[in-house]
Structure 1
Amino acid sequence: MKNIFDSFIQKKGFVVLDGAMATELEARGADLNHSLWSAKLLKDNPGLIKQVHYDYLIAGADVITTASYQASFEGFAKHHYTATEAIELMQLSVQLAFEAREEALKTQPREDKPLVAASVGPHGASLADGSEYRGNYGVSIDDLKSFHRRRMEILINTGADVLACETIPCLDEAIALQQLLAEFPGVQAWISFSCKDGKHLSSGEEFAEAVTLLNQSPQVVAIGVNCTAPQHIASLVQIAAEHTDKHILVYPNKGEVWDATTKCWLPAGAHNSHFAHDAQTWFSAGAKIIGGCCRTTPEDIRQLQQLK
């Protein structure tokens, strides 16, 4: 199976991901103080989601990630959506990205068509209590597979180019996703973890163990880290490089911490991230797929493109 990122890396050296979706929507006036987070706008204001996708593409992103991170049957059901409505909104998340891509290509033609990554957020995202930054779910691997299976199938059937299994906080969820991928032969995915420091997953388990585990899967085309403080990224990239021959991807946040109780971002503290400068360090350490997570913007992605 040819890795979907290979041609980008061979031609340009590395792949530029997009940046934050939800915090960018908030910066444009959206009220996302809601358990569905960015998925709320799939119903309320899909045009704003498409505009954010478009702006990241015009900024130079090679990959845009759908607004399906928080989209799950369980999450939608809590707000009285039917299963049919949930399916339609998941499908819409990919359709919006496709439409933004076609519009961006008319404005800014490219030799290589940008990729659409269907976001598969962790089980913790559906709980809306910040547990994707703890990993203490207390559920089995089979339970996690049941949670992910149906929505993963729906997202795959949209024709999205790759699955973005992101902000995974623990080994059990990585195992569940790895096993689920085998049920969908030919599908490619990246798996990225949330980490608490330069060595451990949010759960406290060793990042090296997670990378070693996923290195065995032919369908996992990239392994990495997202929504993690930028000061930890270089160390985590170095660990990944020692334990995998797959592409390494990173898309950290700006260093702030999400408080799930007050539903606000707490200050970053002493570390003052200079995103593009930091990205050069991550690239030098071995990362070949680089973007941003919470609080990053199209301007950050524009700066990444200029590093090439």
Structure 2
Amino acid sequence: ATYRDRVSVDELKSFHREKRRLLVEEGVDLLAYETIPCAKEVKAIAEIEVEEGGASHTPAWVSVACRSSTELNSGEDLLSSLSPLKHIPSIFGVGVNCSNPLIVADVVTAIRRELPEKVVVSVDFRRKETLHFRCVC
């Protein structure tokens, strides 16, 4: 989230729009906007998907990076940061990644309360440790 104060929403939109265009042109089945650390970037993605998501018919998910069960890595409130994603048909899922595994269940539970139809969970264990957690969603 260190770039949050140095780039505008329009710059973030330009960055994501170009990547999105290239991927859609190649015929991907879905788009994954992952490790999003700040509300400004969530807003940029939401605006792009409103502007272009319906036209391409390419579904997307957004996965945020959190420093706690209630905050994005930027320190901004998790749930208020996700509110722009609520009513965008092309965004079928919202989840969490690149975060402390011990907070993931609480983050997913919070997302489920706010966006019950849009929760997505993608597990990527790259560590050798075995993690045990349970999410009642």
TM-score interval w.r.t. the shorter chain? 0.7 to 0.9
In structure 1, the residue matched to 2:117 is 246
Which residue of structure 1 aligns with residue 63 of structure 2?
192
Q: Name the Cα RMSD after superposition.
A: 2.3
Which among 160, 167, 174 is matched to residue 28 of structure 2?
160
Q: Which aligned segments of 4 or more residues in structure 1 are displaced greater than 2 angstroms?
A: 134-137, 210-213, 249-256, 272-275
Q: Is 1:274 equivalent to 2:97 in the alignment?
A: no
Q: 2:98: which partner in 1?
A: 227
Distance between the aligned counterparts of 1:226 and 1:252, measured in 2? 8
2:45 aligns with: 177
For residues 135 and 223 of structure 1, what CA distance do their matches in structure 2 show?
22
Check whether the contact 2:53–2:90 (CA below 8 A) recurs between aligned residues: no
- Distance in 2 separating the partners of 1:241 and 1:184: 23
Q: Secondary structure at the match of 1:249?
A: coil
Aligned 1:41-80 pairs, distance under 5 A? none
In structure 2, give the amino acid aligned to 1:147.
F
In the aligned structure 1, how far is the partner of 2:84 from the partner of 2:47? 11
Q: Distance in 1 between matches of 2:118 and 2:94?
A: 6
1:51-90 per-residue CA deviation (whole Å, 9 max, x = no partner) reads xxxxxxxxxxxxxxxxxxxxxxxxxxxxxxxxxxxxxxxx
The offset of 1:155, in angstroms, is: 0.3
The 1-side partners of 2:65 and 2:79 are apart by 13
Three-state SS of the structure 2 residue aligned to 1:209 is helix
TM-superposed deviation, 1:171: 0.8
| Matched letter for residue 193 of structure 1 | V
Counterpart residue type for residue 104 of structure 2: I
- The answer (yes or no) to whether the contact 1:170–1:201 under 8 Å persists in 2 is yes
Distance 2:68 2:125 in 1: 14
Unaligned runs of 5+ in 2: none
Aligned residue pairs, count: 134
User: Cα offset for 1:156?
Assistant: 0.8
CA shift, 1:135, in A, is: 5.4
Which residue is equivalent to 1:201? Answer: 72
The 1:247/1:211 distance shift into structure 2, 3 A limit, reads: same
Deviations 1:68-115 (A, max 9, x none): xxxxxxxxxxxxxxxxxxxxxxxxxxxxxxxxxxxxxxxxxxxxxxxx
Greater fraction helix = 1
Report the 3-state secondary structure (helix = DSSP H, G, I; strand = E; otherwise coil) of the residue aligned with 1:250: coil
- Structure 1 counterpart of 2:17: 149
Q: Which amino acid aligns with 1:213?
A: P
Rg (Cα) greater in structure: 1
Which runs of 5 or more residues in structure 1 are unaligned? 1-130, 257-271, 287-308
The amino acid across from 1:149 in the alignment is R
Once residues 169 and 193 of structure 1 are traced to their aligned partners in structure 2, the CA distance between those partners, rounded to angstroms, is 6
Equivalent position of 1:138 in the other structure: 6
Distance change in 2, residues 1:222/1:195 (3 Å): same
Deviation at residue 211 of structure 1 after TM alignment: 2.8
Structure 2 distance, partners of 1:135, 1:205, is 14
